[in-house]
């Protein structure tokens, strides 16, 4: 590469609420990428036994608070998400987020 610098903008993420009770998991928050519009989101749950479960996430919920906090990002106003899962939630070891843009590029971010 002829001295070109590639800068990768970060994905912004906040999990405002996460409740794990018995075998159920419920959560909501917001997520967006600074330069790429996310069209859909999946939550990848890594279980203690090494198995990974891919969960659908309801995305594009209106978040006026996020729009106010990040006025420079045109995707912030509809960056809200919500997810519910009834499975082996108590055996969850780690969660990762995958966002998918219109170009089917995936963006990832882990959440402890």
Length of the chain counted residue by residue = 112
Task: Please name the residue that has the structure tokens 């998991």.
Answer: 25
- What percentage of the chain carries pLDDT values higher than 90? 31
**pLDDT 10s digits, 12-38:** 889 999 898 888 889 999 999 888 888
Cα distance between residue 85 and residue 81, in whole Å = 14
- Which of these, 3, 10, 5, 26, lies nearest to 83 by C-alpha position? 26
Flag whether pLDDT at 104 surpasses 50: no
Q: What are phi and psi of 24, to 5 degrees?
A: -110, 150
- What percentage of the chain carries pLDDT values higher than 70? 81
Name the burial class of residue 19, with classes exposed (0-12), middle (13-18) and buried (19+) by CB atoms within 10 angstroms of its CB: exposed
Please report which confidence band the pLDDT of residue 6 belongs to, taking 50, 70 and 90 as the band edges: very low
């Amino acid at each position: 590469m002829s001295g070109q610098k590639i800068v990768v903008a970060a994905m912004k993420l906040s999990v405002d609420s996460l409740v794990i009770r018995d075998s159920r998991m419920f959560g909501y928050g917001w997520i967006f990428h600074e330069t790429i519009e996310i069209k859909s989101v999946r939550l990848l749950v890594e279980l203690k036994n090494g198995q990974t479960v891919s969960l659908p996430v309801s995305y594009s919920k209106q978040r006026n608070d996020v729009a106010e906090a990040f006025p420079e990002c045109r995707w912030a106003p509809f960056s809200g998400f919500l997810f519910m899962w009834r499975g082996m939630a108590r055996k969850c070891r780690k969660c990762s987020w995958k966002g998918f843009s219109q170009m089917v590029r995936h963006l990832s971010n882990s959440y402890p």
